[in-house]
């Protein structure tokens, strides 16, 4: 609680107490009340009790410890790429991806009246999504752990020269004036969230599915080319492939991958079998219904 600015602490305490009374209805998110993740919980789970958590690790721990039924975590943004290092956090958590949610992102500049804004505080993702707007006005970006938390901090500081970039809800929650609207550098600014739970429910019925996995290729020439061949020959659409390094050797590359399909379907089953043959290991992180068609 002490990590949140004072204006946010009462709201955090109130929401946490409500979630503690009914943990089966609680959905954990990272950030202060009023952040994009809070809004996404309200969109994706209208009957849920949003549970604010200061960090991504705190949100995952809330699910692991049974204080929340699931968590909703941002994973990628259309303007600024990767949001959370889920390829590190998720495997260690032992949680499964059970769903996804897409949300249109809008940012406003908010602060106290009567000053010339010289600095804008926000999450690095938000600052990156609004960088052209900030640069064109000569406003210095200042990093903060989350967007709504930055708004609460601005209210706490009380300096009219310092503003926050946050969703419109944050201005109402923390008593700030809206100084400018729609700061994002693209009208289609969208963030993809994933739902994380302790146990993946059985998937029944027909529909389009996504499967997310991580794997490590063998340290030989053309390793990735060979590993990907099974997806091509079996007609599997790969919508995301990101490389990352674990440890300091820089010798073995791991990959985070999203593909269309269910591992129980023959084409994806064959592709995964071939992937396992050409890699050191493969770990499926979850299979879940598509929230949006990949076209």
187 is a domain residue:
no
Going by C-alpha positions, the residue among 201, 203, 205, 170 that lies closest to residue 70 is 201
- Angle made by CA atoms 276, 280, 285, in degrees to the nearest 5: 65
3-state secondary structure of 290: coil
* Residues 137-168: tens digit of each pLDDT: 999 999 998 899 999 999 999 999 999 999 99
Q: What number of residues does the chain have?
A: 295
Question: Is 254 domain-assigned?
Answer: yes
Show which residues are catalytic: 191, 193
Full domain range(s) for residue 51: 6-103+192-197
- CATH code for the domain of 98: 3.40.190.10
Are residues 163 and 241 both part of a single domain?
A: no
Q: What does the pLDDT read at residue 206? A: 74
pLDDT of residue 50: 98
Cα–Cα distance list, 289 to 2, 85, 128, 202, 259 (Å): 38, 22, 30, 11, 12
Position 115 scores a pLDDT of: 84
User: Which pLDDT score, from 0 to 100, does residue 220 have?
Assistant: 84
The residues, ordered by sequence, that sit 6+ positions from 96 with a Cβ below 8 Å of its Cβ are 196, 197, 198, 199, 200, 285, 286
| Statement to judge: residues 215 and 283 lie in one domain | yes
Q: Is residue 185 part of a domain?
A: no
Quickly count: other Cβ atoms within 10 Å of residue 204's Cβ: 6
Yes or no: say if 28 and 56 are a contact pair by the CB < 8 Å rule: no
Tell me the pTM: 0.91
Instruction: Please list the ranges in the chain whose pLDDT falls under 50.
Output: 1
Do 72 and 139 share a structural domain?
A: no
Which pLDDT does position 219 carry in this prediction?
81
Report how far Cα 133 is from the mean position of its chain's Cα atoms. 23
Which two tokens mark 152?
A: 């609460």
Handedness of CA 245, 53, 111, 81 (dihedral sign): positive
pLDDT at residue number 249: 65
**How many structural domains are present in the chain?**
3
pLDDT at residue number 68: 98
The closest of 191, 190, 188, 194 to 290, measured between CA atoms, is 194
The predicted structure's pLDDT at residue 251: 66
């Amino acid at each position: 609680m002490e990590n949140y600015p004072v204006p946010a602490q009462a709201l955090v305490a109130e929401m946490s107490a409500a979630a503690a009374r009914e943990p089966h209805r609680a959905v954990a998110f990272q950030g202060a009340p009023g952040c994009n993740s809070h809004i996404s919980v309200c969109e994706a789970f209208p009957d849920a009790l949003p549970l604010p958590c200061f960090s991504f690790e705190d949100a995952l721990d809330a699910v692991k410890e049974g204080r929340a039924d699931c968590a909703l975590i941002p994973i990628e943004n259309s303007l600024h790429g990767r949001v959370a290092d889920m390829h590190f956090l998720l495997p260690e958590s032992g949680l499964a991806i059970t769903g996804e949610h897409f949300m249109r992102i809008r940012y406003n500049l908010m602060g106290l009246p009567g000053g010339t804004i010289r600095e804008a505080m926000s999450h690095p993702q938000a600052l990156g999504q609004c960088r052209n707007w900030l640069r064109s006005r000569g406003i210095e970006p200042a990093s903060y752990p989350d967007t709504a938390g930055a708004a609460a901090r601005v209210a706490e500081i009380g300096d009219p020269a310092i503003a926050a970039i946050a969703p419109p809800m944050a201005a109402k929650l923390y008593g700030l004036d809206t100084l400018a609207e729609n700061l994002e550098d693209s009208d289609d600014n969208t963030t993809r969230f994933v739902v994380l739970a302790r146990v993946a429910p059985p998937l029944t019925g027909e529909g389009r599915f996504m499967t997310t996995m991580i794997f490590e290729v063998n340290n030989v020439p053309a390793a990735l080319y060979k590993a990907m061949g099974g997806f091509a020959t079996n007609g599997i659409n790969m919508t995301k492939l990101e490389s990352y390094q674990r440890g300091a050797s820089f010798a073995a590359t791991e990959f985070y991958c999203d593909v269309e399909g269910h591992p129980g379907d023959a084409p994806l089953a064959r592709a995964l079998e071939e992937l396992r043959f050409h890699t050191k290991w493969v770990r499926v992180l979850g299979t879940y219904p598509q929230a949006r068609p990949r076209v």
